[in-house]
Amino acid sequence: MEVFNMIKAMGQGTGLAQFTPAHIIMLAIGILFIWFGIVKKYEPFLLVPLGIGCILVNIPGTGLMAPGGLLAYNYQGIALVIYPPLIFLGVGAMTDFGPLIANPSTIILGAAAHLGIFIALVGAKLLGFSLAEASAIGIIGGADGPMAIYVATKLAPHLLGPIAVAAYSYMALLPLIQPPIMKALVPLEERKIAMAKIKPVSKREKIIFPVMMILIVLILLPPIAPLISCLMLGNLIRESGVMDRVSATIGGVFLDVITVFIAVAIGSTMSAENFVNLQTLKIVTLGLIAFCFGTASGILWARLMCKISGGRINPLIGSAGIAAVPMAARVSHNIGLQYNKRNYLIMHAMGPNLAGVLGTAVAGGIMITLLGAF
C-alpha cells in the first residue's frame, strides 16, 4: 500500500497529470511555429524561439514562469520595456535610410499602409474594448513588434501578451499573408515593372538624417523617445564611419541575441490559462485583419502612384509600407523577382518600409499623448 501511494504521488507530480486539452492545443501551436520557421523558413529567428517559448510555458510543473523562474526573469525585458529599445538600436545599426532620403515620396506609401491601425482600433472599440485597449490593439496593424509592445505597456499592460504575440507572429508570417493580397490587387503587367536605380545619397545627408529625426520627432512626440532615440543612435553609429566594429556588432550578433530573447519572452506569454479565451481570439483576429488592410491600402496607393508616374513605380512596393523591417521589403522583392528576373525591388521597397517604421512610431506617440499615458 505504501509503495502504491508513492507511485501515485510520483505520477501526480509529473506534467502528464496536469495536462488539459488547452495545453495540448498550445503545444501544437508552438510546434507549428517551429515548423514554419525551420521547414518553410519563415523568419526562423522569430518563429523558432517563439515556438519554444510557447512549448516551455505550456508544460505543467516546470515553474519556468513562476517568480524566480528562468522565463519569468527573461519576460522582465518586455515588461520593463528593455528589449524593444535594444531591438531598435540594432535595427538602426543595420539599416540604410538612403532609399527613404532619396525618394521622400515613399512616405506616402508608409502612411497609406497604416490604414490597418485604424481599422483594428475601430473594430476593437466595436467589440467592447476601452479606447486605450483599442488603441493598443490597433497598433498591431503597424507591423512593428517593439512599438506594439511599447504602446501596450503604456495603454493596456494587461493585454501585452496577446498583442505582442499577434504582432510578432504576423510579422514572421508575412511571406504567407501578403503574397495572395499582392497578386490579387496588382495586375500582371504592373508586377513586371522594373524601377530605375535609386539616386545616390551623400554621406553628409545620411549623418544629418538621424540627428534631424531625433530633434523633430522627439520635440513633437516625446513619449516615443526610448525607441526613436535608439533607432537613430544605431543609424548614426552606422553612418558615421568611425565606429564600424561597433556598428557591425550592434546590427549583427547583438541584434540576433536580443531577437531570440524577446521572441522567447513573447512565446512564454502564450500559456493555456491566459491564451485560450475569447478575448485573445478577438485580438489575434483583429491583428490579422489589420495586416491585410494595411497591405491592401499600401498597394492601392502604390498603384495610384504608378499611374501618376507614368508606370515608373512598381505597385508591389506598396505592401512594404507596413513597418516590418526588412521582412515586408523582402516579400515585395521576392514577388517582383517571380515575374521579372531583372527586377530588384529591395532598395525601392525599403523606402516605404522605413517610412512605415516612422509612421507607426508617430501613430503610437499620438495615441499615448492623447490618452495621457505618458
What pLDDT, on the 0 to 100 scale, is given for residue 12? 53
pLDDT digit string (tens) for 162-184?
999 999 988 888 999 999 999 99
The CA-based angle 48-51-52, given to 5 degrees, is 85
Enter the DSSP assignment of 240: H
Q: Please compute, for residue 26, the number of CA atoms within 13 A of its CA located in the half-sphere on the CB side.
A: 28
pLDDT surpasses 60 at 10: no
End-to-end alpha carbon distance in the chain: 63
Q: Which residues contact 89 (CB under 8 A, 6 or more apart)?
A: 230, 231, 233, 234, 250, 254
State yes or no: pLDDT of 374 exceeds 60. Answer: no
| C-alpha cell, 2 | 505504501
Q: Enter the pTM of the model.
A: 0.88
pLDDT at residue 370 tops 90? no
Record the cell numbers describing residue 128, joined without a space. Answer: 467592447
CA 328 to chain CA mean position, Å? 10
C-alpha 54/C-alpha 58 separation (Å) is 6
Nearest to 74 by CA among 308, 259, 315, 228: 259
- How far CA 348 is from CA of 59, 67, 104, 208, in Å, comes to 45, 47, 11, 21
- Identity (one letter) of the amino acid at 128? G
For 100-128, what is each residue's pLDDT tens digit?
Answer: 999 888 888 888 888 899 999 999 999 99
Burial of 45 (0-12, 13-18, 19+ CB in 10 A): middle
Q: What is the pLDDT of residue 17?
A: 66
Q: What is the spatial distance between Cα 76 and Cα 265, in angstroms, rounded to a whole number?
A: 8
The DSSP 8-state label assigned to residue 250 in this structure reads I
Q: Tens of pLDDT along 291-320?
A: 999 999 999 999 999 999 998 999 999 999
Q: Please report which confidence band the pLDDT of residue 4 belongs to, taking 50, 70 and 90 as the band edges.
A: low
Residues 23, 20: Cα–Cα separation, whole Å: 5
